[in-house]
């Protein structure tokens, strides 16, 4: 899978301990809009997806996370790789946090019930079908309080790439 870009904050001790947690995220386009998770409490958009559990393949993680976060049932036969973002920054569980975020095009049906963890419920995650330009505007211009700015930066850059590569006319 191709590297889309790297986000290296260089805010860590390079001799420190490393915690790595890859993730899988879905790009679901329907009638020119993207299925995204809107974190209503902090007003930002992110692609449905999350951490890959030990022993779990990327596709299974994508299917599970899209169901949990957004109530979407991903159609496994539609999953196609897009690219990944390599993220490195100061960690909370170790000195350095490393995350490869793998993005996949796929189709999904919104037929499932969300199953949010405490932090996702706290941020009021909800499924939204949004114009990518509006998601970029919100992510760049709105106040997001204490939300992780690196997540918002990552998702915004992926949105900008999708636009630049012609996925939205």
Where exactly are the structural domains of the chain? 3-164
The class level of CATH for 3-164 reads alpha beta
Residue 40: both structure tokens together: 């209503």
pLDDT of residue 168: 87
pLDDT for the residue numbered 12: 93
How much is the pLDDT for 159?
A: 98
Q: Which of 58, 147, 65 is nearest to 114 (CA)?
A: 65
At 147 the three-state DSSP class reads coil
- Ranges of the chain whose pLDDT falls below 70: none
Quote the pLDDT of residue 81: 98
Q: Hey, what long-range contacts does 137-144 have (CB within 8 A, 24 or more apart)?
A: 138/43, 138/44, 138/45, 139/44, 139/45, 142/43, 142/44, 143/43, 144/42, 144/43, 144/44
Cα distance between residue 74 and residue 80, in whole Å: 12
pLDDT value for 110: 82
- What does the pLDDT read at residue 117? 85
For residue 20, the model assigns a pLDDT of 96
**Continuous segment of H or E residues that includes residue 109:** strand 108-109
- CB 45, CB 162: distance < 8 Å: no
Query: What does the pLDDT read at residue 106?
Result: 98
pLDDT of residue 113: 85
What is the model's pLDDT at position 143?
Answer: 95
Q: How many residues does the chain have?
A: 169
| Whole-number Å distance between alpha carbons of 169 and 165 | 9
């Amino acid at each position: 899978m191709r590297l889309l870009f790297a986000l290296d904050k260089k805010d860590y001790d390079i001799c420190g301990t490393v915690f790595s947690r890859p993730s899988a995220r879905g790009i679901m386009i329907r009638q020119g809009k993207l299925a995204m998770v809107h974190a209503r409490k902090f007003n930002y958009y992110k692609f449905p997806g999350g951490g890959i559990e030990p022993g779990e393949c990327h596709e299974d993680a994508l299917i599970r996370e899209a169901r949990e976060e957004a109530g979407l049932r991903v159609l496994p036969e539609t999953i196609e790789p897009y690219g990944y973002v390599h993220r490195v920054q100061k960690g909370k569980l170790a000195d350095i946090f490393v995350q490869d975020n793998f993005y996949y095009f796929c189709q999904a049906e919104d037929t499932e019930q969300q199953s949010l963890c405490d932090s996702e419920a706290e941020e009021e995650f909800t499924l939204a079908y949004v114009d990518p330009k509006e998601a970029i505007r919100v992510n760049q211009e709105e106040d997001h309080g204490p939300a992780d700015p690196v997540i918002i930066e990552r998702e915004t850059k992926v949105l900008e790439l999708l636009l630049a590569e012609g996925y939205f006319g």
